[in-house]
Amino acid sequence: MTAVPLIFEAPRRGRPPRHLADLDPAERRAAVADLGERPFRADQLSRHYFGRLEDDVTRMTDVPTAARHRLAEALLPPLLTLVRNVDCDGGATRKTLWRGADGTLIESVLMRYPDRVTMCVSSQAGCGMACPFCATGQGGLTRNLSTAEIVEQVVAGARWLARGEVAGGPGRVSNVVFMGMGEPLANYGRVLSAVRRLTDPAPDGLGLSQRSVTVSTVGLVPAIHRLAGEGLAVTLAVSLHAPDDELRDTLVPVNTRWKVAEVLDAAWGYVGATGRRVSIEYAMIRDVNDQPWRAELLAQQLRGRLVHVNLIPLNPTPGSRWDASTPAAQEEFVRRLVDRGVATTVRDTRGREIAGACGQLAAVDPSPLS
């Protein structure tokens, strides 16, 4: 065996500590009671955390000092430590690298537009889906994030906005997309709880509208069916990337388990149950999936459905053998879809120059960016 010098101590991977945001309101009251405090203290903590976005325990002055510290220690432990922020687009895009209590690294991205602010959050550290064009997919899965670790990414963005720390003045998070690292439906329970924390009215949660939350999936069919039965109005995005099984088997390996037709059936089931328009994500990869005949096959499968295609110019990842489609191929692809009555838009590539764009999040290198 070759001796490899140990430069970095391997981080310990473990369960993140319990946090207020892991719990629903009844569980919070029970947790507070377990600590020997009156249950209404749970509502006070919720108001500070979700309502006022407070992160300084000493400012929670409606709770007596001793109780405050005991409660904060038990229910507001630090979960994510900021490693670094990288801004671009004049400060309207911010990619953040976080370190979990066990050393796990994850990323989130804040994107400010004239009419909205979207937080792109991670649901897992790494990802087990192994899509070959995605940076996160290359490293495998480290672990699931806890509900509170997911919520914290949004709360952090909300704090920066509330305090006017993001270019454009004070603001609020309006949208959340589960399009950071990980496959959200492979961490189903925690992601669902996170959606509830994000959308429960303040002060129980952050009070975002369900419609402004998008859960993006490779197409885990049983989990899509389950999501359809939750009574939520969140937007479902399905990462299709190919209309035919032969190619999709290679681009989205889970397709060997659930085929294009099954994934789309599940998506139409979601439309039927929720009345929500489904998004189909399609990364445009030069000479791989961008041929006119594939646009036509895709149109055939989607025509007449409550659906919208989101084309994402491929963000080539380091060492990738693939490139983005040419503008001409992309235009032709869009034209064929639109001509056949399928609503289609091309996603902007915010954060591209800071490796903060779709599929580029791969928190493997904690060294400072040059």
Burial of 90 (0-12, 13-18, 19+ CB in 10 A): exposed
**18 DSSP assignment:** P
Among the listed ranges 35-43, 125-133, 228-236, 336-344, the one in contact with ligand SAH (CB under 6 A) is 125-133
Here the tokens at position 221 are 């069919």
Q: Is 204 near ligand SAH (CB under 6 A)?
A: no
22: contact with ligand SAH by CB under 6 A: no
Q: Rounded CA gap, 267 and 273, in Å?
A: 10
- Is residue 359 involved in binding ligand SAH (CB under 6 A)? yes
Q: Are the beta carbons of 206 and 242 closer than 8 angstroms?
A: no
Tell me if residue 107 is catalytic: yes
When asked if residue 158 is in the footprint of ligand SAH (CB under 6 A), the reply is no
Q: Cβ distance 273 to 244 under 8 Å?
A: no
Select the residue interacting with ligand SAH from 49, 133, 188, 270 (CB under 6 A): 133
φ and ψ of 343, to 5 deg: -60, 130
Q: Could you say which of 127, 131, 134, 358 is catalytic?
A: 358
User: Would you count residue 157 as binding ligand SAH (CB under 6 A)?
Assistant: no
Counting contacts by CB under 6 A, is residue 134 touching ligand SAH? yes
For ligand SAH, the binding residue among 314, 334, 342, 363 (CB under 6 A) is: 314
* Distance in angstroms (rounded) separating the CA atoms of residues 102 and 80: 10
Nearer Cβ to ligand SAH, position 23 or 213? Answer: 213
The encoded tokens of residue 240 equal: 């299709």
Minimum CB distance to ligand SAH smaller for 90 or for 319: 319
Q: What type of residue is 14?
A: G
Q: Which is nearer to ligand SAH, 72 or 361 (CB)?
A: 361
| Of the residues 312, 337, 354, 363, which one makes contact with ligand SAH according to CB under 6 A | 312
Tell me: does residue 183 bind ligand SAH (CB under 6 A): yes
User: What's the one-letter identity of residue 322?
Assistant: W
CA–CA gap between residue 333 and residue 311 (Å, rounded): 9
Single residue of 216, 235, 289, 325 touching ligand SAH by CB under 6 A? 216
By the rule CB under 6 A, 218 interacts with ligand SAH: yes
Single-letter amino acid code for the residue at 99: R
Q: Name which of 120, 115, 53 is nearest 93 in CA terms.
A: 120
Q: Which is nearer to ligand SAH, 18 or 277 (CB)?
A: 277
Taking CB under 6 A as the binding criterion, the range among 81-89, 187-195, 216-224, 290-298 that sits at the site for ligand SAH is 216-224
CB of 361 to ligand SAH, least distance (A): 8
> Is residue 70 within a helix (H) or strand (E), and if so which, with residue range?
helix 65-75
Torsion, Cα of 107, 161, 195, 85 (10° steps): 0
Cβ–Cβ < 8 Å for 137, 127: yes
Kindly state the DSSP code that residue 186 receives in the 8-state scheme.
G
Q: Which is the catalytic residue, given 107, 152, 183, 281?
A: 107
Can you tell me which of 109, 150, 278, 283 binds ligand SAH, judged by CB under 6 A? 283
In the complex, minimum distance from the CB of residue 358 to ligand SAH, in angstroms, rounded to a whole number: 4
Catalytic sites, residue numbers: 107, 358
Binding residues for ligand SAH, rule: CB under 6 A, are 129, 131, 133-134, 179, 183, 216-218, 239, 281, 283, 312, 314-315, 317, 358-359
